[in-house]
Structure formats: C-alpha cells, structure tokens
Structure 1
Amino acid sequence: MNQTRLGYLYGFGAYLLWGFFPIYLKLLRPAGPVEILAHRIVWSVVFVALVLAAMRNVGFLRALARRPRALAGIATAATLIAVNWGTYIYGVNSDRVVETALGYFINPLVIVLIGVFLLRERLRPAQWAALGVGGAAVAVLTVDYGRPPWLALVLAFSFAGYGLVKKRLGLPAAEGLFVESAVLALPALAYLGWLTRSGAATFGHVSAGHTALLVLAGAATAIPLLLFAGAANRLPLSTIGMLQYVGPILQLGCGVLIFHEPMPPARLAGFALVWLALVVFTVDALRHTRRTRAQARAAAPVPAGAR
C-alpha cells in the first residue's frame, strides 16, 4: 500500500471514530460529564505513556523541561482541550449531539476568524462571503434555539484556539497528548479521589463493563489523534480539510437518526447556511491551493538540460 492510500486510511479511521464517539459517551452514563472527563484525562496519560515506552521515546521530556515557554504553551493547550472535551461530553450526555456537530461544522470558519483578529491575516473575498453566511447561520440558529448556540460556539472556539497553540508548539501527536494530559492529571485525580470519598463515584460501582469502558476512554481519546497524525504526515492540507467534515456529518447522523434529537425546519435552515458557507470556503481554498502550486511551478527555474 502506498503512502497516500495509507494516509486516506488513517484519516478516515480517525474521523470515523470521532464521528461515532457520541455512542461511546452515551454508554458511560450514569457517570457525570466531569467524572467522564477526569477518567478520559487519567487513562489518556496511561495509554500514551505505554505507547511512548513501546516507541522508546521518553527522552523528549528532558528536552521539553528546558523550554519554559513551551511548557506555558502546553498548559494553555491543556486548558483549551479540557474545556473542549468537557463541553463535548456535557453536550452529548444532555442530548444535544446535534449542537455538538454544529460546533465542529463551524470550526473552520472560526479558525479563519482567529486568523483575521489575532494573526492579522488578510482574507480573500470568498472567505469574507463564507464568514458572512456563517454569521447568518448563527443568527438563524439563535432564533431557533431561543438563545445563541453557546455549546457549539464554545466547542468551535476552544478547538480552534487549541489548534493555533498546537501549531505554534509543533509537538508530535503522541508526545503532545501525553504532556497535555499529564498537566491535567493531578486535578483529575484529585477530583476522582474526592468523588470516591463522597460515595458519588460510578467507577467500579455500576458494572464490570461500565468500569472497562471508563478505562478504555484513554485509548478512545488517543487512537484517533494518532491516526490523524499519520494522515497529516501523508496527505496535503487541502485533503485533510475535506476529510474533517466526515466527523461532524456522522455526529449529526448519530444525533438525528440514532438518538432522535429534533431537527425542526428553522434549525435545518441554519445548518444549510453553515454547509453553504463551508462549500464556499472549501472551493475557494482548493482554487487558491491549485493557483499557488501553478505559480510555484511557473516560477521554478528550468533545468539546464531541459533548455
């Protein structure tokens, strides 16, 4: 199998797992969102530590300890991903899977917005049009819900911010996830200890299957990230951008078709506007990528033997 096909396999694998993740989270009830989040953090540390030990790659910790700015960035990334994970778990287990899917649909538009206001990037006209349509979608959904779609917005902004910090840090997937989870592990363990002492913990008190599923939350967190890293190393960024819509499409399907969440006409209209914005955004990105590649080929020097 060539590297491109392997990249597609890794990419689809990652987004399929993320797309069906709401089903897994539903199985973790009656554990509350914060308990699930704490187990997800703790068991992620354990799982990724085993992966790194198998790869014999633990020396990076010593090098990282000598980079205080990187450690501060990791703490920021850890906080953002904890907010993202916690919000997502809360959304799924409060029967708002459709709204969580919306968050990941609008995430690319939020990334563009961050680029404008934080990185002072200039947008092309089509990108401005996509942002305008996305803003109209949020307005329509605000009317439908009777409130702004806060859960979706928190998911979109926290994940976009996490991606920005991660890009600046430049850490590989496994190493980054290990350190981020390790930063959060102490408060997570403290919370689980308090929960156990108060008699409110579900871990070990519901069933053997439920306990096993909580333990496996670490692997369920890490495996898609590792698959995604494998895809990102083998596929163009434009291809990754197209694949990223697989996850929220499947999440939306889970919410509507499996969990029977409502999708009234006004909400459907809001989602349709989001999808229109994404079509405009994606088509423009593909055209810009092709144009840039063509310009690079035209500007490349001609080899002496080819003249």
Structure 2
Amino acid sequence: MTKLDSNTVPSPARSTNDVGPSINLGLSYAIGAYFIWGLVPLFWKQLAYVNSIELVVHRMLWSFVFVAAYVLLRQDWKVLFGYFKDKVLIRRLAAASILFSANAAIFIWAVNSGHLIETSMGYFINPLFNVTLGVIIFGERLRPLQLLAISSAAAGVLYYVFAFGAVPIIALSLALTFSVYGAFKKSISIPAVHGMAIETSFVLIPCLMYLGFLEWQGVGVFGNDLKTDVMLALGGFITLMPLLLFASAAKIISMTALG
C-alpha cells in the first residue's frame, strides 16, 4: 500500500528541545479530546427524543456556524478559499467530512437506541485500528513495550467480542470510520480550525435542505421549544471542540500515540 504523507507542505525544522514540549502538547490535546468524548453521551442522551438523522444534521450545521464565526472574526476567509486550489487537500477534507458524518450518525443512533455496550466497545477497539493504520500507512514502528501493550489490548478486545456473542457491527463501524478519519486528519497540514471549516461547509447545503424539508413537513423540532433549540446549538460547539483538539493532536503525535 502506498504510504500517505503526514504533511502536504514542508514543515520547518525543529530543535531537539522542541520535540518534548510538542509531544506533550499533542498528548494533552488528545487527552482533552477523549475526555470530552467520554462525557458527551450524557449530553446526547438528553436529546434522545430528537430523530437521530435530524440530530446529526444539527450537529454538523451548528458546528459550521461556530467555526465559520471564528474564521470570520479572524478574517481568514481569503486563506480558506486559497486551499481550494489544492485538489489533493480538498479531496482529503471531503473524505474526512464523509467519514465523520457517518461516524456521528452511527454514534447518535446507537446511543439513542440503547446500544451502549457496542458503542463503548467501538471506542475501545478504536486505538487498535489507529495503531494498525499508523504502522501500515505512515510506517510507524512499535517498541517492544508498545507491542506488548497492543497485544494485551487486542486479547482483551477478542475476549470482549466472544463474550458479546456476535459480530459487533456497530462497534467495528465506529472504530473503522473514526480511525480512517484520524488518518486523513493526520495527512492534512493546514490549521485544524481551517480544516473543520471546510469539512463542515461540504455538508452545509444538504443539512439546510434536509432541515428545510422537515420544516415544510411540519415535523422539525427546531423552533418549537427554547430548551431544545439551545441544546441543539450547543451540540454543535460540543461536537466541534474535541474534533479541533483531536485534529491538532493528530498533526503532532503519531497514530500509535494517538491510539
């Protein structure tokens, strides 16, 4: 398999003294992202009465609103439009957008349908997929202790799968979509907030069309209850923050460390 470059543009050389702090910063970003993701199911459970697809659409729409507002305040629009000249970059961002949308849809549906065990299993399996992609795509090497830790985790996952008594389709789908999403994010060198602005812009029109259709049918939830409206908007911010942390971490540390 052809290896994917982790940077599309050359990066400035860093001194040895910069490596330690950079890695620590990357790990801090990753820990922050995973910590938030560990708590967000409690938030989404409060919106269980909202149709899963409609909820995902609102997540993407409000994520765009928040990131677009930030880019507008920073007056970065010209920089953003300049990225569209790089066709490889745009293809990767489009793929990342599709992967995250699929992952978000599976996650929301699984949580609100009561598949909490499989959902948890998916994010337990995810690090193994990250490590696998890191080795295969980015040519990362595992140290003996890392290999031992990964082997132990893999054994635990296999035991978990056998105890579950069936092929965990939901868990595997969550793990695979998010790991591949992480690989694409690692291969994209632009600032995380710019990447998220472009990713969410790809689904903006479909999101608006879908919500418009729901309103036309009179079945949309937005605008009927202030609490729901606020929570839907807040859901965009909650979606965006860990993704920005994760994308920032992916640029700094290896997929193995990210796992």
**What TM-score does the superposition give when structure 1 sets the normalisation length?**
0.66
- Within 2, Cα distance between the matches of 1:24 and 1:120? 38
1:217 aligns with 2:224: no
- Within 2, Cα distance between the matches of 1:107 and 1:143? 17
- Within 2, Cα distance between the matches of 1:220 and 1:20? 10
1:154-180 C-alpha deviation (Å, 9 max, x unpaired): 111111111111111112121111111
1:20-35 matches, cutoff 5 A:
20-35=39-54
- Within 1, Cα distance between the matches of 2:211 and 2:84? 27
Of 220-229 and 36-45, the range deviating more from structure 2: 220-229
Taking a change above 3 Å as real, the CA distance of residues 136 and 223 of structure 1, as seen in their structure-2 partners, is closer
Taking a change above 3 Å as real, the CA distance of residues 35 and 15 of structure 1, as seen in their structure-2 partners, is same
Taking a change above 3 Å as real, the CA distance of residues 93 and 164 of structure 1, as seen in their structure-2 partners, is same
1:44-123 matches, cutoff 5 A:
44-119=63-138, 123=142
- Displacement of 1:132 in angstroms is 4.3
Larger Rg computed on CA atoms? 1
1:144-159 matches, cutoff 5 A:
144-159=163-178
Percent identity between the two aligned chains: 36
Give 3-state SS (helix, strand or coil) of 1:169's partner.
coil
Taking a change above 3 Å as real, the CA distance of residues 60 and 29 of structure 1, as seen in their structure-2 partners, is same
Gaps of 5+ in 2: 1-20
Aligned length, in residue pairs: 236
Of the three residues 200, 206, 223, the one matched with 1:181 is: 200
Q: For the Cα contact (< 8 Å) 1:31–1:201, is it kept in 2? A: no
- Displacement of 1:133 in angstroms is 3.9
Q: Which residue of 2 aligns with 1:257?
A: none
Q: Which residue of 2 aligns with 1:248?
A: none
- Within 1, Cα distance between the matches of 2:243 and 2:140? 28
- Displacement of 1:62 in angstroms is 2.4
Q: Which residue of 2 aligns with 1:251?
A: none
- Within 2, Cα distance between the matches of 1:150 and 1:189? 30
Aligned-CA RMSD value: 3.1
Amino acid at match of 1:208: L
